[in-house]
Amino acid sequence: MGTAIGIVIFILGLVFGSFANVVIYRLPKGKSIVRPGSRCPACGKDILWYDNIPLISYILLRGKCRFCKKHISARYFLIELITGILFLLIYLKFGLNINLFIYTLFAFSMLLMGFIDIDTYLISDVIVLPGIVLGLAFSIAFPWMHYEFSRAESVLYSLTGVILGGGLLLLVGVIGKLLFRKEAMGGGDVKLLAMIGAFLGWKSVFMTIFFASLLGTIISLTLIALKKKTIQDYVPFGPYLGLGAVISMFYKGEIFLGFFIN
């Protein structure tokens, strides 16, 4: 039974991954994410339903449009696969309960924000501001998501996460601007970490920053070593915050013994 549910969750994740590709492409452009249907980015032809099956269609078509034969970025395939795996891992970690819904929604939002930030260097208020409200609302309705015993304790834990998350990056941004005479932290990153604090609580804010900084440093140095980036290039921090948040979501009760244990 558990295996069957896991397969269903994985397939559902693939479907959401396909939808994520639409949102990532259209939302920053101000286009509807509902209409029209999916189209080839090269020739603009409508993609037939049987050419829009997550993973399978990409493989069968060898990553090309059926009509114009132009190559379609492998990122579409990758995002579908990542989302499917992510949904499955959340199910395996939290089980079939309300936490599955809360954390798949949260992780899906982090994925959207990360790729949108890569493409546009922007964090979308359309996702992040309602996300802060939702995180607080879930903390009130389902206090056990923070392992707290009362709604008052849970919402305080979440609200402190919003204030601390947004406040820390805002402080970093102000100090960085004073020291380096340029923008050190975007306002979108501040709001994104506030959303992370709303969903995961204030303790996970520190974990998220730690992992985001660590991964950001490693990946940036690797890209510089491979001459894909220079030290002067702007690097969006949103993807690393999102990745750090997802790691924190999975291990917030198990990493950094003592201070970080709930």
Contact between residue 154 and residue 148 where contact means Cβ atoms under 8 Å apart = yes
Beta bridge partners of 71: 64
* Residue 38, pLDDT above cutoff 70: yes
* Residue 49, pLDDT above cutoff 70: yes
Percent of residues, the chain, with pLDDT higher than 90: 55
Q: What is the pLDDT of residues 211-262, one digit of tens each?
A: 999 998 999 888 888 777 776 677 788 999 999 999 999 987 554 444 444 4
Rounded Cα gap, residues 245 and 199, in angstroms: 10
Structure tokens at 35: 């209409």
Mean pLDDT for the stretch of residues 46-66: 89
Structure tokens at 150: 């009362």
For residue 177, the model assigns a pLDDT of: 60
Greatest mean pLDDT among 30-34, 180-184, 242-246, 247-251 lies in 242-246
Percent of residues, the chain, with pLDDT higher than 70: 88
Rounded Cα gap, residues 98 and 96, in angstroms: 7
* Lowest mean per-residue pLDDT among 21-30, 109-118, 155-164, 226-235: 226-235
Mean pLDDT for the stretch of residues 16-45: 87
Q: What is the pLDDT of residues 61-94, one digit of tens each?
A: 898 988 888 898 999 999 999 999 999 999 999 9
Exposure string of 146-156, with b = 16+ CB inside 10 Å and e = fewer, is bebeeeeebbb
Count of other CB atoms within 10 angstroms of residue 262: 12
Rounded Cα gap, residues 151 and 157, in angstroms: 10
pLDDT band at 126 (very low <50, low <70, confident <90, very high): very high
Rounded Cα gap, residues 198 and 138, in angstroms: 9
CA-to-CA dists, residue 239 to 43, 69, 120, 210, 243, angstroms: 30, 31, 12, 14, 6
* Residue 40, pLDDT above cutoff 90: no
**For residue 90, which amino acid is it?**
I
Mean pLDDT for the stretch of residues 30-36: 85
Q: Is the link from the previous residue into 36 a cis peptide, with omega within 30 of 0?
A: yes
pTM: 0.89
Beta bridge partners of 46: 39
Contact between residue 153 and residue 143 where contact means Cβ atoms under 8 Å apart = yes
Greater pLDDT, 7 or 227: 7
